[in-house]
A and B are shown apart, each in its own frame.
Chain A
Amino acid sequence: MSDRKLNSSSTKQWKSIEHLAGSVQDSEQEFSSVQQTAPLIDSPVSRRGFMTVMSASMALTAVACRRPEQKLISSVKSHQTAIPGTSIDYATVYSHRNVAYGALVKSREGRPIKVKGNEQHSTNVGTTSAEMQASLLSLYDPDRIRRPRVNRGATSTDNATQKIADGIAEAQANGKKAIVFVSEHCSPSYSKLMGEISTQNSTIEFVTLPSIICDNAAVANKAMFGLDGEFALDLSQAKVVVSVDSDVLGTDKLALLYTRQWATQRSPTGTSAEISKWIMVESQYSLTGANADERVKLHPSQLEPFLAVIEQEIVGSNAVGGSIVGAATAETTSQAKRAAGELKAQSGEAVVLAGRHLSPLANAISLSINNTLGCVGAGRIVDPQNEIPNSGQKSTAVSAAIEMMKSGNVHVVLFADVNPEYSASKEFRNAVAKVPVRAAVNLYEDETADASICSVSIPSAHWLESWGDAISVHGEYSIQQPLIAPLNEGVPSLQDTLISIAKKLSPEFLADTENYYSYVMKNAVEYAAGLDTDAAKAWSKLLTNGVVKSAPRGSYVFNAAGTSALEGSKTSNSMQLQINPSIALYDGKYANNSWLQELPDPVTKITWDNVALMSANTAVSIGVAATKSAKDLAKANEKVVTISTKNGEINLPVYVQVGMADNVIATAVGYGRTAGGRVLMGVGSNCFGVAQSSNSLAFVAISSVKVVEGALHKIATTQNHHTLDDGNGERPIAKWLSAADFKNKKFVGLEEEFPNTGNDGKYLKPLSVNPGYEYKGHRWGMTIDMSSCTGCSSCIIACQSENNIPTVGKEQVILGREMHWIRLDRYYVGDMENPASIMEPMLCQHCENASCENVCPVAATTHSPEGLNEMTYNRCVGTRYCLNNCAYKVRRFNFLNYDTDKRAPLDMVFNPDVTVRMRGIMEKCTFCVQRLHEAKWHAQDDGRARINDGEAITACQEACPAGAIIFGDMNDKDSRVSKARMGDRGFRVLSELNVRPSITYLAKVRNANITSSGVTEEHASSDHHS
């Protein structure tokens, strides 16, 4: 048969070339069966005969009418490492000011599409913050500077750097100075480079200019430990944490680290039921306060006396805060004594935190208390070895620079990645005006780089486009690898620009170093030496791992005597303005990032704005609300007030926030930018101006608050002031237990209530005439631990980045059309004067009996055999019926073309594995189905039928610093999700509707001194309603 010729087969049917060539052995049999049946046509038509003829003719059609299969293979000339359609992760490092977080950046076809955490980096261990994720969007920001500018005309980088070099040369000639203001950083190479440049050319002086200057902690540490700097704590060891206005879970630079540490102590199980206890003492309602087990709200003037009283209780006669203890009111004293009692009870595992913005004395007091509590020392909670790089005092250098500029001794200023025109004090800005040559190197042409300030503006590369390095708080050294060549061709990194300026001034400078890349590589030798004896291999290993542990650092000894010169705060008991960094935007550096602008504040749920937060009493006292009734307070919101301080005045819209101390107004910086992109324009107001004259953010006395008559400013919130107790019976949605109840195994209210037919593990099988679907393969599910979730919101941005979720803008948020697939529902519980918060991440529950699925007329949303509630975008006609019928309201409708009208190159940020949705289409959480598919392909390649536990994780789980989200296969009894799901705290939201959600929530446990007869009882009775 193998020699069958083409012409001999011409009378026969053939299927393919293979058939003709005879490579398919059974072909003859197929044909013969056809021929045998053919004679039946002659016989009288019987039923059997008819059927046979019909099937034979079908078979004939099948074999006769197909074209020969001829496989085409494309010519793929792939890049050495890049395989089209396959992503590669590169290890790099993200620096959040002077804190380094290890990053793995996912790259597809050579473009970075997702920032993930590097699991080997001990600061974030694979998790990411919202800002870190969102910095990816800034890479593709069309508003970035594309060309260097001299005066008002575009020029080449060479010309622009020459211009600066000429200025410096002129300064040198005239015996004047050139100051380079740089931002906070944690790069050893950058530090070294600056040192070498100023050594080479003494005209050039580098001054670190953080947007928020706050030396208080460094001053205290200097006095007590001899360490001019700040350090990271290890809160995972703490059983009791008393934080005095230190928002460690919210606005702190190390919030990602602290959230991870907090979570280790907050997720009780049946076998280890103990959880830590957090007491927050504050005037505002911070994220840490929202999560704390107990909150003490105090006026700002009482915060430091509170610390002093604790110190007196614990330290006794050696107390350093004796001078301010007298300022404590009776209430402060009693509360502080109670807190001191809690601390003493867990001595050695208890810690007191003082906000960085509190006075040096207050910071010293907290160290003194911690020392007595026995938590100071190497490997303890307070270990000064974990120093934050470059965190020493900065105000002296900045003041000196101001003086120098004022005196006319400065000829050139170069603003390198800093924006003082936006954030610095008036004094600073006036001094800058006296400098003849002003230049800026930045990502954006911001307020400072604007032509009105700087005659020279040079674009700098994004961190994903430039080489660098960073050292972490735990002494880990990482290389910042670029993921892509600068999108704006030829744009150098900031350091490269500095090198080229220095080389222009003295060509022999760094003669053997071509650029910053080789400079970093040379520096890295020191750190990478241990990895391999061969330098090239060591470098490549360093890049692969992303992290190498550096040599241990010096130890510090506590010395109480150093406090004598420290000053306490002078915060009076008048009305105070508290200004914080914004949780989403921090200091406004990434204000042109729409992901961050639209990220709701975890507590207030406000997007696209900064507002004046105040208590109901304050609202009444300043006259924006007539009474404290809910109606009047609602009317007070969005009214505009003018707040005056000694530094100036500012207009802000009012937002009444529960749980705030009276006589305090809180707001955030980061908003009110006026240049540097199209997204940030007109968003909020700049509060740097009213802050203290040096730009440290602390309390400022308010001289007056005036209501701007008739002015209303729309505030875009994603959640209104709804609480669990809406006055019509508590809703058993976000369930919680007291720690005591949990320990005593009183899981009141967690059980489901409906007629059932037995148990499905922990859960009831509801009575049904339908036997239900049997999941034979995978059955995907998730657990969310509300006890460890702080509401940090990094999951929102992780999801946004992974799933191409559009931002919609302030107007659309006001209309209620934000698109986030995961939202963090925040519910207040308890006393509305000082409530606790419960954060409940809410996303598609992938209900087994989904109410959305049966109502879709075109079957665009269906259930997969693996338990996913799938949304077929192409099929959706947009009736919105599914949205209406979703009990959780987690479906998102594209009311307009939010994502398809993106300005290039913003469209490059899209994940190519996820469809970009047009208008008129419903979308929602998919459990990152694209990741499931990818994991399946890998499993298939390995010859496995199933994905192993942990091989496919969702983007939100990957980002969550608290590890609160666990995704996996519920059919696998040993998977993490199965175990977590069957835990004692598990419940399903709205289970009484019998929609059978695939997400199990683990009830929050609050370690509050709630008498079981009190709130717990009330809670139990309310659950009875379900």
Chain B
Amino acid sequence: MTEVQEQQKLHADPHDEPVREALVLGSPTLRDVTARIASIVESKITAKYLLTLMVTASMAGWGLVALGYTIFVGIGVWGLNNPVGWGWDITNFVFWIGIGHAGTLISAILYLFRQKWRTAINRSAEAMTIFAVLCAMTMVLSHTGRPWLFYWLLPYPNQMQMWVNFRSPLMWDVFAVNTYFTVSLMFWFIGLIPDLATLRNYVKSKIAKTVYGILSLGWTGSNRSWHHYEIAYMILAGISTPLVLSVHSVVSMDFTVGIMPGWHTTIFPPYFVAGAIFSGFAMVMTLLLIVREVLDLKQFITLKHLDNMNRIMLATGMMVGYAYSMEMFIAWYSGNPWEKWVFINRAFGDYAWAYWTMVTCNVVSPQVFWFKKIRRSIPVMFVISIFINIGMWFERFTIIATSLHHDFLPASWGYYSPTWVEISIFVGTFGIFLTLFLLFAKFVPVIAISEVKGILPGSQPKHGSHTEGHA
């Protein structure tokens, strides 16, 4: 946004298209674009890919074993205890839900704001959203004491004549997350249809052709198809947009509705949304940097894209930092002794290490993005993006564990540390996430072919006299 405005200021002529950095490098032709992206699907599976897939699949497998063990024996195999009823389970849930946010933001909000630079990254960000929400759902389903009764959380007519409790924020979570998942999946899939059709036409293997054929739902590329497609895409973008705000607001209400000092604060909804976008972008960044390198997509995912993302991270990082300081200030200003104690305990108590890890990663580390040079330095942004991921995980852990372990009555205080099972499950969710992402990167166009074509130089209709000016 800011860049657009800056650029616009430079150009006095309002009809003049501002001079922007090219979003696709090397002026490829339409055919080049198709060939470049589709070739990833068509190319042979390399040993390196298989090896990576095996590693991630093993992580996922190990996590599922740990999950099975938990379900078979009981939540007791985790480190949870009496004051601390939630630990890594809900931390991971909020973490993964947060990761998902960047996808929706990039695909829906940036779409509605006509941010063309999103085209290079939206596909993988959306995929990431879906996979992250899957991981989150795994966590939230398995964290219950009797996960085989998960369907009791759904309002359905039953012989028990029991209805769910709509006053419970966990109930709202069920709706928010399910809606989010469904809409995100539809949005992603609708966006994929033209590209799947392209692949259908491009691939040689009969099986692949059939599969892509079915998935492309008989896409013909006719004007009518495009017309409907654009409308559907726009509507879904419209539906998705409020979800970016609502999902994490609802998740934050799991805490704000509670009466625990450290949870019961009104700042949470905006603070969680900012944090979610922050962590989501960090995760997109981490993955994109790898994809860009491995699949050699530097042509499409340019430094400009990365620069923009770093700016967003800087902004949201500061929002999160503001939230941290506001929490502290209000704890002091409120004069509420419980609240005060919880925040002092956060910063200097048993979990101070977690708190300061969070502050360092989330508030301090993104500050380097004030410098353009650093915003465009691949190794630095890679490291910072990982820092942010770590920091945002600790943010959730800090909120959950430190608020619970020392609450109102000192007699019931305790300390929580995870067991190998919880750690394995967390590793497992990463395994699931990365495995799905690898499969996605191989079998689905990682970059929205049709959309990229739309932003190639000269692809947009222009007013006659200016067409040649900026060819």
User: Chain A interface (Cβ within 8 Å of chain B)?
Assistant: 719-720, 722-724, 726, 728-729, 731, 733, 812, 815-818, 823, 825-827, 840, 842, 851, 854-859, 875-881, 883-885, 887-890, 892-897, 919-922, 989-990, 993, 995, 1025-1026
For residues 112 through 161 of chain B, which have their beta carbon under 8 Å from a beta carbon of chain A?
Answer: 143-147, 149-150, 152-153, 160
A878 in contact with B144 (CB, 8 Å): yes
- Residues 411-427 of chain B, each 1 if its beta carbon lies under 8 Å from chain A, else 0: 11111000000000000
- In the complex, whether B270 has a CB less than 8 A from a CB of chain A is no
Assess the B82–A817 pair: CB atoms within 8 A.
yes
Could you tell me how many residues of chain B have their Cβ less than 8 Å away from some Cβ of chain A? 54
Contacts A823-B411, A854-B167, A895-B74; is A816 near B82 (CB within 8 Å)?
Answer: yes
Q: In the complex, what residues of A have CB within 8 A of residue B149's CB?
A: 877
**Nearest neighbor of B151 in chain A, beta-carbon distance:** A877
Shortest CB-to-CB span from B149 to chain A, Å, is: 5
B412 near A889 with CB under 8 A, answer yes
Which of A724, A731, A879, A892 is most buried by chain B, counting CB atoms within 10 A of its CB?
A879
Q: For residue B341, give the distance in angstroms from its CB to the closest CB of chain A.
A: 5
Instruction: Please pick, from A722, A816, A894, the residue contacting B81 in the complex, using a CB distance under 8 A.
Output: A816
The verdict on A854 contacting B74 (CB below 8 Å), with A883-B85, A884-B260 known, is no
Contact status B74-A919, CB under 8 Å: yes
In the complex, A821 Cα to B327 Cα: how many Å? Answer: 34
Q: Which of A720, A879, A884, A889 contacts B144 (CB 8 A)?
A: A879
- Contact flag A881-B411 (CB < 8 Å), given A817-B82, A892-B82, A921-B146: no
Map CB proximity to A onto B48-69 as digits: 1 under 8 Å, 0 otherwise: 0000000000000000000000
Which B residues are CB-close (under 8 A) to A856?
165, 168, 170
Are A818 and B162 interface neighbours, CB within 8 A?
no
Chain A residues lying within 8 Å of B81, measured Cβ to Cβ, are 815-817, 895
In the bound complex, residues from chain A placing their C-beta under 8 Å from that of B85 are 880-881, 883-884, 893
Q: How far is the CB of A816 from chain B (nearest CB, A)?
A: 3
A889-B145 Cα distance, complex, nearest whole Å: 18
Contact check, B145 vs A876: say whether CB atoms are below 8 A apart. Answer: yes
A and B contact pairs by CB, cutoff 8 A, 9 listed: A723-B410, A729-B337, A729-B341, A856-B170, A875-B160, A879-B144, A884-B404, A895-B80, A896-B73
Chain A contacts for B231, CB-based, 8 A: none
Contact status A857-B171, CB under 8 Å: yes
Shortest Cβ distance from residue A542 to the other chain B in the assembled complex, whole angstroms: 45
Partner of A857, one of B84, B86, B153, B407: B153
B83 in the interface (beta carbon within 8 A): yes
Whether B145 contacts A894 by the Cβ 8 Å rule is: yes
Interface string of B378-422 (1 = CB under 8 A from A): 000000000000000000000000001001111111110000000
Residues B163 and A919 in contact, CB atoms below 8 Å apart: no
> Considering only CB atoms, which chain A residue lies closest to B174 in the complex?
A857
Once the chains are docked, how many angstroms separate the CA of A890 from the CA of B409? 10
User: Which residues does chain B contribute within 8 Å of A855, judged by CB atoms?
Assistant: 167-170, 257-258
Q: Is the CB of B211 closer than 8 A to any CB of chain A?
A: no
Assess the A857–B164 pair: CB atoms within 8 A.
Answer: yes
Residue of B nearest to A817 (CB): B81
* Chain A neighbourhood of B260, CB < 8 A: 884-885, 887
Which 3 residue pairs spanning A and B have beta carbons closest together? Answer: A878-B145, A920-B145, A816-B81
- Binary A-proximity of B63-102 (CB < 8 A = 1, otherwise 0): 0000000000111111111111110000000000000000
B residues engaging A (CB < 8 A)? 73-86, 143-147, 149-150, 152-153, 160, 162-165, 167-171, 174, 254, 257-260, 335, 337, 340-341, 344, 404, 407-415
CB neighbours of B415 from chain A (8 A): 816
Given pairs A855-B170, A859-B163, A881-B168, 13 additional interface contacts (CB within 8 A): A812-B76, A817-B82, A825-B409, A855-B169, A856-B170, A875-B160, A877-B144, A877-B150, A884-B85, A885-B258, A893-B145, A895-B76, A896-B73
A817 to B75, CA, bound (A): 12
Q: Evaluate whether A893 and B150 lie within 8 angstroms (CB atoms) in the complex, with A859-B162, A880-B145 already known.
A: no
Shortest Cβ distance from residue B163 to the other chain A in the assembled complex, whole angstroms = 7
Nearest CB of chain B from residue A886's CB, rounded to whole Å: 9
* Closest Cβ neighbor of B338 among chain A residues: A731
Is A724 touching B410 in the complex (CB atoms < 8 A)?
yes
Contact B82 A731 (CB under 8 A): no
What is the CB-to-nearest-CB distance from B55 to chain A, in angstroms, rounded to a whole number?
A: 33
* Nearest-CB residue, chain B, relative to A724: B410
* A840 to chain B: closest residue by CB: B411
| Closest Cβ–Cβ distance, residue A730 to chain B (whole Å) | 9
A883 closest partner in B (C-beta): B85
Query: Which of A723, A840, A875, A887 has the most CB atoms of chain B within a 10 A radius of its CB?
Result: A887
Q: Given the known A-B contacts A812-B76, A815-B79, A885-B258, are A859 and B165 also in contact in the complex, defined by CB atoms under 8 Å?
A: yes
Q: From B75, B147, B171, B411, name the one whose CB has the most chain A CB atoms within 10 angstroms.
A: B411
Residue contact A887 to B407, C-beta cutoff 8 Å = yes
Q: Which residues of B contact A922 (CB under 8 A)?
A: 145
A817 with B257, Cβ < 8 A, contacts A823-B411, A840-B411, A878-B144 known: no
A941, B26: Cα distance in complex, Å: 93
Alpha-carbon gap, A920 to B146, bound state (A) = 5
User: Separation in Å of the A523 CB from the closest CB of chain B?
Assistant: 50
Residue of B nearest to A881 (CB): B170
Complex Cα spacing A857 to B73, Å:
23
Residue pair A877, B410 in contact (C-beta under 8 Å): no
Which residues of B are found within 8 Å of A893, using beta-carbon distances?
A: 75, 80, 82, 85, 145
* CB <8 Å contact, B169 and A888: no
A825 contacts which chain B residues (CB < 8 A)?
A: 409, 411-412
**Cα-based distance from A747 to B120 in the complex (angstroms):** 71
Residues of chain B within 8 A (CB-CB) of A993 are 259, 408
Cβ-defined partner of B409 (8 Å) among A858, A876, A889? A889
Contacts of A858 in B (CB 8 A): 152-153, 162, 164-165
Which residue on A lies nearest to B419, using beta carbons?
A815
B74 touches A897 (CB 8 A): yes
Contact call A857/B168, Cβ cutoff below 8 A: yes
Q: How far is the CA of A919 from the CA of B146 in the complex (A)?
A: 8
Kindly report which residue of chain A lies nearest to residue B143, judged by CB atoms: A879
Which chain B positions have C-beta within 8 A of A826?
411
> A878–B75 contact, CB under 8 A?
yes
Query: Nearest residue in B to A887 (C-beta to C-beta)?
Result: B408
A733 touches B408 (CB 8 A): yes
Closest chain B CB from A920 CB (angstroms)? 3
- The smallest C-beta distance from B72 to any residue of chain A, in angstroms, reads 11
Assembled-state Cα–Cα distance A857/B165 (Å) = 5
The residue on B at minimum CB distance from A872 is: B162
Residue of B nearest to A1022 (CB): B337
Q: How far is the CB of B449 from chain A (nearest CB, A)?
A: 43
* Separation of A883 and B400 alpha carbons in the complex (Å): 13
State the CA gap A207–B54 with chains docked (Å): 76
Contact present for B76 and A875 (CB under 8 Å): no
Q: Is the CB of B75 within 8 A of A920?
A: yes
A721 and chain B: residue at smallest CB distance: B410
Q: Are B340 and A728 in contact (CB under 8 A)?
A: yes
Closest to A826 in B: B411
Residue of A nearest to B404 (CB): A884
| Contact among B257, B341, B408 with A728 in the assembled complex (CB-CB below 8 Å) | B341
CB nearest to A605 among chain B residues: B411
Cβ of B409 and Cβ of A733 under 8 Å apart?
A: yes
Q: Please name the residue on chain A nearest to B403 by beta carbon.
A: A884
What is the bound-complex CA distance between A921 and B152, given in angstroms?
14
Q: Please indicate which of the listed interface residues B81, B150, B163, B254 has the most CB atoms of chain A within 10 Å of its own CB.
A: B81
- Cβ 8 A contact of B82, one of A877, A879, A883, A1025: A883
**CB pair B83 A816 closer than 8 Å:** yes
CB distance from A369 to the nearest CB of B (A): 38
Q: How far is the CA of A817 from the CA of B341 in the complex (A)?
A: 25
The docked-state distance in angstroms from the alpha carbon of A876 to that of B153 is 10
Bound together, the chains give a CA A415 to CA B162 distance in angstroms of: 61
Asked if B337 and A1025 sit within 8 Å, CB to CB, the answer is yes
Within the complex, what minimum Cβ distance (angstroms) separates B282 from chain A? 28
Kindly list chain A residues whose C-beta atoms are within 8 Å of the C-beta of B168. Answer: 854-857, 881
Given contacts A729-B341, A895-B80, A896-B74, contact A876 B146 (CB under 8 A): yes
* Alpha-carbon distance between A876 and B160 when the two chains are bound, in angstroms: 13
The answer to whether A885 and B152 touch across the interface, beta carbons within 8 angstroms, is no
